[in-house]
Amino acid sequence: MKPTSASEHHLKVSTRSCLLATTKIVGLSCFLALSACANETQQTSLVQAAQATTIQVVTPQCAYPDFNVAMNYRIEAWGVPSATFNVGAPLLVQSRVSTPSYLSIYHVSSSCKVSRLLNNVQVTTGQIVDFPLKESNIDLIVKPPAGKEAFYFVATLKPFEFLSASDILSESGHIASIDLSPDQFYLRLESARGRIDPSTLSMTTLHTEIIQH
């Protein structure tokens, strides 16, 4: 066997060192590439998770049918200054009945909540009735969401109730929050209309809209 010279030995050692260094560099490059891929995958997963948890707020939609009865007398109703209310502005609606009667007002809001605003308030012929009542010292401010809503006016010759105590969620004076969906309320109103002599009943509907600028 031919003896290895010192220069050849040095060359082999250098070659081995270069191979080891190259292997380390390649390994480090792969590690960095894998780390970058892992970070990119993690960021993509976080973005997808954020997108998946995005909640879209949808304004409830409900119907606002007409309930109009006027056989022997009638109700007129209007918004002040108009039937369009701006968010943040005071709420005021007015009405009058063409005969002495007992007036109730119900409201289905743009968020599909049902309320009773007046309950069997005794009125005289042609008397303009404000809601809120002037004597109540209540100022109501129009709140979002924007959208359609309706006020239902019922006048009878005698005090008349078609809601039960269990239908009332909360009450303060004439104003009450009603534990009925709009559809359930309309069924009650339709049933009441069928139970009472139409000559002693008057109903009208005021359609309004809330605007948010």
pLDDT at 22: 42
Name the architecture of domain 69-211. Sandwich (2.60)
pTM of the model: 0.73
pLDDT at 9: 43
Residue boundaries of the structural domains of the chain: 1-55, 69-211
Per-residue pLDDT tens digits for 127-157? 999 999 988 888 899 999 999 999 999 999 9
Q: Which positions ≥6 away from 190 have C-beta within 8 Å?
A: 67
Q: Which positions ≥6 away from 165 have C-beta within 8 Å?
A: none
Give the three-state DSSP class for 110.
coil
- The residue-averaged pLDDT of 85-101 equals 97
Per-residue pLDDT tens digits for 64-91? 999 999 999 999 999 999 999 999 999 9
Per-residue pLDDT tens digits for 151-198? 999 999 999 999 999 999 999 988 999 999 999 999 999 999 999 999
